Amino acid sequence: MQRAKTKRTRFILADTPPKQDERLKTLHSYNVLDTEAEADFDDIVDLASKICDTPVSLISLVDEGRQWFKARVGFEPRETTLDQSVCSHAILSEDFVEIPDMGADPRTFDNPLHVRDPEVKFYAGANLVAPNGQVIGTLCVLDTKPRHLNDFQKQALQTLSRHVMTQLELRKKIRLEAALRAEMDHRVKNSFQTIASLLRMATRKVDDPDAKDVLALVERRFGAVASLHSQLMTRDGEGSVQTVSFLSQLGKLLTAGAPENIAIVTSADDGELEVGQASAIGMIVSEFVANSIKHAFPNDQSGEVTLSLRARGEGRWLLECRDNGGGHGGRVSGADSTGLGKMLMGSAADQLNGRLEADFGASGAVMKVSFSS
């Protein structure tokens, strides 16, 4: 007895889009496939479903062998194969595609979504068009009964599809900027390390005390700039720094270069400083700490350097640097014998539009700068 042949339905796959390689490259450049759900996209499909009065709305991204949904309402799968994809047909058409009755359309009459559960009858999709003109998917709505969208619904779906692309472009730019900052940070750090090594080598080869002091001054100034760079890179390129984190980070970096017998303690009130102000404070603090390390604690005497930044109301700030050493002997010019340290600290105070006061005595040293943010 001859076995009856089972008739198989031949699902109609969409044609391969023109410039498919470029289209897929564009899609993958957004790094969005297989990412977690995001409220911005969930809100878009929820709004599209409500406006179009459909049970299903999807942000569908058409990959090489699948369609993946960045956001979805009323549809459980996160992705489907292309034989179930109406969107793979839609991206071949104009900006907007409406299929009032999938059973009557040659592209979709045998689509599994139509002939099986959930028996989708209606489809409308607005293409997601990248700035280079490549279509990466659709914002679509589906219904279980044949129907038409009115003009307002069609226009709203197209507007929302452009909003999807705006969100994708924004995230792409943020990623590119972050990668650029990371590369810049890497190059700058390498440059800092090279220059610091050259300064140390130069200092070891110089015998003249004044020249050594000048090189030490340059190395401290360089260290202040390096610390500011480190702090700014953690702020994602913003034009201001947080007072607490900046002074704390600066204190840690200065501690790394201080002898074990000297502790550096920092404290600050919450607030923000402009980048230029942070740079000036870094210069003053670095000079004060270097001066204390060199003169305040002779014979490996233990001691403490305290650095504080206090809010004084109405945008006023007080920077105060103290040590409890007694070895300054009245030196107020900084840790070099040329007077360059004093000049640079004065210049930094001028940059803050502040007034610098210093008192170096037998019981320790204090330096204060009052300024406005």
Q: Distance between CA 107 and CA 130 in Å, rounded?
A: 25
Query: In the sheet where 56-62 sits, what is the strand order?
Result: 79-81, 66-73, 56-62, 135-143, 122-129, 96-99
Q: How many CB atoms lie within 10 A of CB 173?
A: 10
Is the separation of the CB atoms in 363 and 303 below 8 Å?
Answer: no
Residue 335 has pLDDT above 60, yes or no: no
CATH top-level class of 20-172:
alpha beta
The more confidently predicted of residues 349 and 336 is: 349
Q: Where are the domains of the chain?
A: 20-172, 206-372
Q: Distance between CA 267 and CA 304 in Å, rounded?
A: 14
Return the pLDDT at 182: 66
Count Cα neighbours of 186 within 13 Å in the Cβ-side half-sphere: 6
Q: Tell me what percent of the residues of the chain surpass a pLDDT of 70.
A: 83
Is the separation of the CB atoms in 319 and 284 below 8 Å?
Answer: yes
Q: Distance between CA 298 and CA 277 in Å, rounded?
A: 32
Q: Distance between CA 68 and CA 59 in Å, rounded?
A: 8
Q: Containing H/E element for 164?
A: helix 151-205
**Which CATH architecture group holds 206-372?**
2-Layer Sandwich (3.30)
Return the pLDDT at 332: 40
Q: pLDDT for 55-83, tens place per residue?
A: 999 999 999 999 999 999 999 999 999 88
For the chain, the residue count is: 373
Phi-psi region of 205 (alpha: psi -120 to 50; beta: other; left: phi over 0): alpha
Quick check: pTM over 0.85? no
Q: pLDDT for 42-54, tens place per residue?
A: 999 999 999 999 9
Q: pLDDT for 132-186, tens place per residue?
A: 999 999 999 999 999 999 999 999 999 999 999 999 998 988 887 767 666 666 6
DSSP 53: T
What phi and psi values does residue 38 have, to the nearest 5 degrees? -130, 140
Task: Retrieve residue 311's tokens.
Answer: 């809010």
